[in-house]
Amino acid sequence: MFTPNGGSILITEHFEERSLEIEQSLLPLRCVRFIREDFKIEDAKEVVSEAYKSESQTKTLILGAKSFTIPAQNALLKILEEPPRNIVFLLLAPNKSTFLPTVRSRLSLTQEHSEPHHEPIALCLRTLDLSSLFTWVKEHEKFKKHEAKELIEHLLYHAAHVEGLSLTIAQVEGFEKAFRLIELNARVQSVLVMILMNFLKEVKRAR
C-alpha cells in the first residue's frame, strides 16, 4: 500500500479509487480529499485554506484530478515547498506530464503503472542544423495537445538519456515553458522551434 512520505506525487490511472484506499490506510490520522475532474485555481485556494488550519497531528491533503491547470499549480508552489506544520500533500494524476517541472521538483514521485514507452526521435541534437530542425518540426506541426505533450516528453528523454546531453539551464527552462505553452493552446510548431533553438545555439557555440 502506498503511503505518502512528506510531499508526494502518485501517478495512477485510478486516482479517485486510490485516494479512498490511501485515506483508509492512514486512519486514524485525518485526511481531506480534493478530487476533481480538472483542478482549477479556486480548488487550489480551497486547499491552501485547509492547509493553514492548525493541526496537532498529521493531516494529509489528497489532491486528485485528470488535469491540473497552470494557475492552480502556480498557486500551490509556495505551500508545497514550505508546508505548514503537520501537513502532508499527496497529488494524484494519470500522467506525470500533467505537472509542471517546478511542482515535480518539490515532491517525490511514484509511478504505479509502467513507464510510458518513449518513441524514438529521428533527430540528432548534437549536430542539429536549421534544415533538420525545420524538417522535423514540420513533420509534427499538426499534433494535437496531448500528442504534443507526449512528443515533448519523448524529446526530453531523448536529449537526456539517448544522447546523454547535460542540459543547460536555458534548455531545461525551454522544456518547462513548452509544457505551459501547449497547455495554453499555443501553436505546436512554434513551441517545438523554441525548444530546438536552445539546442541549435549550443551546437553553434561548440563549433
pLDDT tens track for 46-88? 999 999 998 889 999 999 999 999 999 999 999 999 999 999 9
DSSP state at residue 5: -
DSSP state at residue 96: G
Tell whether 31 is covered by a domain.
yes
State whether 83 and 138 are in the same domain.
Answer: no
Which residue positions in the chain have pLDDT lower than 70? 1-6, 113-117
State whether 30 and 95 are in the same domain.
Answer: yes
DSSP state at residue 167: -
State whether 103 and 175 are in the same domain.
Answer: no
Residue-level pLDDT at 192: 97
Residue-level pLDDT at 119: 78
Using DSSP, state whether 108 is helix, strand or coil: strand
State whether 142 and 176 are in the same domain.
Answer: yes
What CATH number is attached to the domain comprising 64?
A: 3.40.50.300
Last residue of a domain, one of 111, 143, 169: 111
The pLDDT tens digits of the residues spanning 144-159 come to 988 998 899 899 989 9
Residue-level pLDDT at 21: 85
Using DSSP, state whether 196 is helix, strand or coil: helix
Overall number of domains in the chain: 2
State whether 72 and 148 are in the same domain.
Answer: no
Backbone angles phi, psi at 38, to 5 degrees: -125, 125
In 65-119 the beta strands, taken as DSSP E runs, fall at 67-68, 87-93, 108-111
Range of the domain at 181: 130-206
